[in-house]
Amino acid sequence: AELKPEEQIQYRQAGYAFMAWNMGKIKANLDGNYSQPQVQAAAETIRAIANSGMGALYGPGTDQNIGDVKTRVKPSMFTEREEVGRLAMNFINAANELAEVAALGDEAEVKSAFGAVGKSCKACHDQFRAD
C-alpha cells in the first residue's frame, strides 16, 4: 500500500528529527566526556536512517503543506534530481564513514567525520530547504 503524501512528509520529518537527536548526542560527546559506545550507537543509528531509502518519501504531492502537515521543502528538490542525488550520496557516504570511525574509537577521526556529516546536511538545507 502506498503512503499518503502527508504520511510521507511525517515519516521523512521523523527520520530527520531522529538523526538530529543522534547528531546532538555525538556533539555532546565531542564537547564533553567521550563515551565510545554511545557515539558508536548514535553513528550506527544515523547510518541506518541515511541508508533507509528516504527518497521514497518525496513522492507526488509531498512538495507542499497538507493541512496541518507543513514542509519546508523547495519545489526545486523535485526537479533538480541530479543535484539532489549528488547531495544524497555525499550524505550517505559521510554517514557511512562516521559509523566506521565511531566503531574504532579514535576521537579526532570521529570529530572530523562528524564535521563532514554536518556539512552534507547543511549543503542540502542551503539548496532545498526554505527559511
Residue 104 touches ligand ASC, criterion: CB under 6 A = no
CB 61 within 8 A of CB 112: no
Piece of 34-42, 78-86, 96-104, 115-123 that binds ligand ASC (CB under 6 A): 115-123
C-alpha cell at 43: 553513528
- Give the residue carrying C-alpha cell 528538490: 77
Residue 84 touches ligand ASC, criterion: CB under 6 A = no
Piece of 7-15, 57-65, 107-115, 116-124 that binds ligand ASC (CB under 6 A): 116-124
Binding positions for ligand ASC, 13-72, rule CB under 6 A? 20, 23-24
State the nearest-atom distance from the C-beta of 24 to ligand ASC, in Å. 6
Among 118, 124, 127, 129, binds ligand ASC (CB under 6 A): 118
Burial 63-90 (b: 16+ CB within 10 A, else e): beebeebebebeeebeeeeeebeebeeb
| CA 68 and chain centroid, separation | 23
Half-sphere exposure for 85 (CA within 13 Å, toward CB): 4
Cβ-proximal residues to 81 (8 Å cutoff; 6+ apart), any chain: none
Q: Given the complex with ligand ASC, which of 9 and 121 has the nearer CB atom?
A: 121
State the nearest-atom distance from the C-beta of 61 to ligand ASC, in Å. 24
Residues that bind ligand ASC (CB under 6 A): 20, 23-24, 118, 121-122
